[in-house]
Amino acid sequence: MGVGDGDGGAAPGALSCRNLRKTFGGTVRALDDVSIDIAAGEFFTLLGPSGCGKTTLLRAIAGFEAQDSGSIHLGGQPLDGLPPPQRPVNTVFQSYAVFPHMTVAENVAFALEMQRKPRGMIAARVEEMLALVRLQGLGGRKPSQLSGGQQQRVALARALAAAPKLLLLDEPLSALDLKLRNEMRLELKRLQGETGITFVFVTHDQHEALTMSDRIAVMREGKVLQVGTPTEIYERPSLRFVADFIGEANLIAATRVAPGRFRLAGGEELAATEDAGPEGPVTLVLRPERARLAAPDDTEGQALTGTVDQVVYDGADTTYHLALAGGAGLRLRAPSHGGRAQARVGDGVRVRVEPAALRAVPD
Amino acid sequence: MRGRAILLVPSGLLIGVVLVLPLVMLLVISLMQRNPNGGIVWGSFTADAYISFLWERGFSGERELNWDYVAIFLRSLGLAGSATVTSFVIALPTALWMAFQPPKRRLLLVFLVTLPFWTNLLVRNYAWMLLLRVDGLFEQILHATGLLTGRLGILYTPTATAIGLTYSFLPFMLLPIYLSIEKIDRRLLEAAFDLGADRWRVLTRVILPLSMPGIAGGVVLVFIPGIGAFISPELLGGGKTMMVGNLIQAQFGYSRNWPLGAALAFVLLALVLAATYLHRVRFRSAP
Ligand SMILES: Nc1ncnc2c1ncn2[C@@H]1O[C@H](COP(=O)(O)OP(=O)(O)OP(=O)(O)O)[C@@H](O)[C@H]1O
Ligand SMILES: [Mg+2]
């Protein structure tokens, strides 16, 4: 995925945020030196816990909040100082914010009417948009006569109607129930593919972020911690927080004794491929599905030993909670394979840990 | 079911005693003959009072059309209408401004709007007499600033009545409009801006339609009591520009024509009910 560089020659939908800072009330750092480059046509996700500044960043891009310093460029053009109506950016709000006094069609037509487009063109475009979000035939209804999911589609069609260069989506699915949310995820991906518009999508649901995004920016306390594809973020987190926030992870305290060599609290030594950094305390990240119980006759490879504390069956997978010989806990997950557990509570087990499955992150 | 029906008895009694009973009495009175000494002659049914609304008896006893009462009704409608329009024009921007103040200041402003209610309406209309009279405060200010050399000459004219009505009923226009604007979800306004609307079109396309219930309520609350108002026309109109309220008051007072007073009250009620019905039909879907 190419990345816009914010220069004059950038593609029309490429967004570049440079050193954005925003403070509320002198103390709350909602944005703390945020720099992000988003390529045209990318599905880019901002992911982070509540209060980390995701909404503030979107509002700065949309023009509702002026950053204290830093600049925002869209397609190489600076947006700074432009009021919201003049930015070729539209927003899908978490609460839908569909106009209750207008019909579905009037809602979708709103942005085009604001641009004083000819009536015939507006009518055709409204039909096209309603078809795109699969609301054909509902143009005459009032929003109060629609379900939550349908209202969300109206909000989407309304924001897309004027063909913005950039669509901002602030937790658009959080008000929907699980089934509808899954449906709308696919829908959003499809819409993004069909329109080719750059999407900046906000969520604090890591699963949503992993399944939908081209790239993800993980944020905390106003800072961008890591930007990368879902695979990079999940497989190669750069910080303990990222590893912990995205997916499940065993976080094992260890000491780096040499590049790629670590000693655990209980004295066991582990090796990791792909490692760099100074000697000293680190956290080892081990995804539960990357460790596996060794067969009884398997004595090869790098391994840890421990006893089974708990076995949790959840359908497709079974999770084994282990107490390592050194005292630390470890979770590992394996496919259930028809419900026959590979170990029982109290069993002593050997756990294979491939060096490629381990990743050290700074404490 | 029976147990629940019993719970309705108190409110039924209340409505019966304070609303239906006086209305029935008024209806009965309007259908009696007048007693020239005041009150009515019991048991003497006649439609005279209603007939005399439009026709009066000439010297020779024949009935002649008389437009005087109709003129008073029309003037009342006109004055109430202009007070409604003026107070709307003042109330809308004020309500808009109030609704976008910080919450704490909003409370203070609402309190200030209701402040006049702490003094008697009569006293407040007297105050307007002092402001509008010859050599009153307004005239002095206009003279001092050189904007006027002669007399202001507003007091005891329909204009003064309209000013008094507007002043008296302005809070009833302002508060419902303010409440409905304040209730609008701010995210809808942001959405409108986001979709390319400028301030004017956010106002006309989002704020105004969504505050329609409040505007309609304000119009009803100003226009309907405005028709029947009698303090402002009496004091500020100098009794020369009579309104329906004064006319009715006079029938029960010095004119000693209770049946006519009651009949006029019923005609007024019919007008008001018709207006309310039209309003209902128009804003049926409003929440
Ligand atoms: N208008 C404001 N005034 C004061 N503080 C604000 C304002 N808006 C946001 N903040 C603060 O800025 C920080 C970031 O807020 P923001 O709404 O951007 O978080 P978020 O990541 O969107 O959180 P959530 O997931 O809960 O929506 C928070 O600490 C919040 O309290
Ligand atoms: Mg938010």
Contacts of A261 (CB under 8 A, 6+ apart): A269, A270, A271
Give the closest-approach CA distance of A314 to chain B in angstroms: 41
Tell me how far apart the alpha carbons of residues A211 and A247 are, in angstroms, rounded to a whole number. Answer: 12
The answer to whether the CB of A263 falls within 8 A of the CB of A328 is no
Quick check: helix, strand or coil at residue B107? helix
**Distance from Cα A58 to the centre of ligand 2, integer Å:** 9
**Distance from Cα A275 to the centre of ligand 1, integer Å:** 36
Tell me how far apart the alpha carbons of residues B216 and B287 are, in angstroms, rounded to a whole number. Answer: 12
Cα distances from B64 to residues A9, A117, B50, B52, B254, in angstroms, run: 90, 63, 14, 10, 24
Whether residue A110 and residue B195 make contact (CB cut-off 8 A), yes or no, is yes
pLDDT classification of B2: cutoffs 50, 70, 90: low
Per-residue burial over B31-56, b if 16 or more Cβ lie within 10 Å, else e, is bbbbeeeeebeeeeeeebbbebbeee
Do A15-235 and A248-361 come out as alike in CATH topology?
no
Helix (H) or strand (E) holding B205: none
**Distance from Cα A58 to the centre of ligand 1, integer Å:** 11
* A145 at interface of B, judged by CB pairs closer than 8 A: no
Whether B74 has a pLDDT exceeding 80, the answer reads yes
Closest ligand by atom to A34 CA: 1
* B36 at interface of A, judged by CB pairs closer than 8 A: no
Tell me how far apart the alpha carbons of residues A280 and B150 are, in angstroms, rounded to a whole number. Answer: 95
Phi first, then psi: what are they for B41, rounded to 5°? -95, 110
B199 contacts on A by Cβ (under 8 Å): none
Tell me how far apart the alpha carbons of residues A148 and A146 are, in angstroms, rounded to a whole number. Answer: 7
Whether residue A99 and residue B196 make contact (CB cut-off 8 A), yes or no, is no
Sign of the dihedral defined by the CA atoms of residues A47, A53, A55, A57, in that order? negative
- Mutate-to-test residue for ligand 1 from A21, A24, A221, highest number of ligand atoms within 8 A of CB: A24
Give residues (CB < 6 A) around ligand 1: A 24-25, 28, 30, 48, 50-56, 204
Tell me how far apart the alpha carbons of residues B81 and B88 are, in angstroms, rounded to a whole number. Answer: 11
| Chain A CA closest to residue B287 | A101
Inter-helix orientation angle B212-228/B258-282, to 10°: 170
Tell me how far apart the alpha carbons of residues B172 and B80 are, in angstroms, rounded to a whole number. Answer: 13
| pLDDT computed for residue B62 by the predictor | 77
Whether residue B185 and residue A115 make contact (CB cut-off 8 A), yes or no, is no
Contacts of A350 (CB under 8 A, 6+ apart): A293, A294, A298, A299, A303, A304, A305
Residue B275 φ/ψ region, left for φ over 0, alpha for ψ in the -120 to 50 degree band, beta for the rest: alpha
The answer to whether the CB of A143 falls within 8 A of the CB of A100 is yes
Quick check: helix, strand or coil at residue A220? strand
**Distance from Cα A189 to the centre of ligand 1, integer Å:** 27
Residue A219 CA: nearest ligand 1 atom is: 21
DSSP calls for B8-61: THHHHHHHIIIIIHHHHHHHHHHTEEEPTTSSEEEEEE--HHHHHHHEEE-TTS
Residue B195 inside a domain? The answer is: yes
**Distance from Cα A329 to the centre of ligand 2, integer Å:** 34
Q: Which residue range(s) make up the domain with B81?
A: 68-256
Of A64, A114, A115, which is closest to B190 when you measure between CB atoms? A64
| Best residue in A99, A113, A125 for a mutation probing chain B (most B CBs within 10 Å) | A99
B249 Cα distance to chain centroid: 16
pLDDT classification of B198: cutoffs 50, 70, 90: very high
| Chain A CA closest to residue B185 | A97
Kindly report the average pLDDT of chain B as a whole number: 87
Q: How many independent structural domains does chain B possess?
A: 1
- pLDDT tens, residue by residue, B210-219: 999 999 999 9
The ranges assigned to domains in chain A are 15-235, 248-361
Instruction: Output Rg (C-alpha) for chain B, integer angstroms.
Output: 23
pLDDT classification of B284: cutoffs 50, 70, 90: low
Cα distances from A249 to residues A205, A244, A292, B74, in angstroms, run: 16, 6, 14, 82
The answer to whether the CB of B194 falls within 8 A of the CB of B253 is no
ipTM score of complex: 0.82
Cα distances from B200 to residues A122, B184, B192, B193, B257, in angstroms, run: 21, 16, 11, 10, 54
CATH code of the domain containing B191:
1.10.3720.10
Of A84, A115, A158, which is closest to B193 when you measure between CB atoms? A84
Contacts of A353 (CB under 8 A, 6+ apart): A270, A286, A290, A291, A302, A303, A304
| pLDDT computed for residue A6 by the predictor | 41
Per-residue burial over A104-136, b if 16 or more Cβ lie within 10 Å, else e, is bbbbbbbbbbbeeeeeeebeebbeebbebbebe
| Best residue in A64, A110, A151, A152 for a mutation probing chain B (most B CBs within 10 Å) | A110
Average pLDDT over residues B176-188: 95
Direct distance between the N- and C-terminal alpha carbons of chain B, in angstroms, rounded to an integer: 29
Number of CB pairs, chain A paired with chain B, less than 8 A apart: 56
E strands present in chain B: 32-34, 40-45, 55-57, 63-65
Look at ligand 1, atom 20, and give the residue with the nearest C-alpha. Answer: A51
Taking chain A (363 residues) in consecutive chunks of 10 residues, what is each chunk's mean pLDDT?
48 91 90 94 94 94 94 92 92 91 96 94 94 91 92 93 93 84 87 92 91 94 95 93 92 90 86 84 92 83 89 90 86 85 85 90 84
Sign of the dihedral defined by the CA atoms of residues A222, A228, A232, A234, in that order? positive
Whether residue A99 and residue B197 make contact (CB cut-off 8 A), yes or no, is no
Look at ligand 1, atom 5, and give the residue with the nearest C-alpha. Answer: A24
Look at ligand 1, atom 16, and give the residue with the nearest C-alpha. Answer: A53
**AA letter at A98:** V
Residue B156 inside a domain? The answer is: yes
pLDDT classification of B287: cutoffs 50, 70, 90: very low
| pLDDT computed for residue B54 by the predictor | 82
- pLDDT tens, residue by residue, B106-116: 999 999 999 88
Residue B115 inside a domain? The answer is: yes
Describe the strand order of the beta sheet including A198-203 as a list of residue ranges.
A89-92, A166-170, A198-203, A43-47, A215-220, A223-228
* A101 at interface of B, judged by CB pairs closer than 8 A: yes
Shortest CA distance to B171 belongs to which of B119, B220, B116? B116
**Distance from Cα A170 to the centre of ligand 2, integer Å:** 7
Look at ligand 1, atom 31, and give the residue with the nearest C-alpha. Answer: A51
| pLDDT computed for residue B283 by the predictor | 67
Contacts of A361 (CB under 8 A, 6+ apart): A237, A238, A239, A240, A242, A243, A282, A283, A285
Give the closest-approach CA distance of A90 to chain B in angstroms: 6
| pLDDT computed for residue A1 by the predictor | 41
CATH code of the domain occupying A248-361? 2.40.50.140
Shortest CA distance to A159 belongs to which of A248, A225, A88? A88
Give the closest-approach CA distance of A11 to chain B in angstroms: 22
Tell me how far apart the alpha carbons of residues B91 and B223 are, in angstroms, rounded to a whole number. Answer: 14
Tell me how far apart the alpha carbons of residues A350 and A147 are, in angstroms, rounded to a whole number. Answer: 52
B 154-193 near A (Cβ less than 8 A): 185, 187-188, 190-193
Of chain B, the percentage scoring pLDDT greater than 90 comes to 36
Average pLDDT over residues B38-42: 80
B194 contacts on A by Cβ (under 8 Å): 62, 64, 84-85, 89-91, 159
Fold exhibited by the domain A15-235 = Rossmann fold (3.40.50)
Look at ligand 1, atom 24, and give the residue with the nearest C-alpha. Answer: A50
pLDDT classification of B89: cutoffs 50, 70, 90: very high
| pLDDT computed for residue B150 by the predictor | 78
How many C-beta neighbours within 10 Å does residue B119 have? 10
Tell me how far apart the alpha carbons of residues A205 and A281 are, in angstroms, rounded to a whole number. Answer: 30
* B221 at interface of A, judged by CB pairs closer than 8 A: no
B214 Cα distance to chain centroid: 16
Shortest CA distance to B121 belongs to which of B82, B74, B170? B170
Residue B63 inside a domain? The answer is: no
Look at ligand 1, atom 17, and give the residue with the nearest C-alpha. Answer: A55
Give the closest-approach CA distance of B283 to chain A in angstroms: 13
- pLDDT tens, residue by residue, B129-173: 888 888 888 888 888 888 878 787 888 888 889 999 999 999 999
Contacts of B282 (CB under 8 A, 6+ apart): B216
Residue B178 inside a domain? The answer is: yes
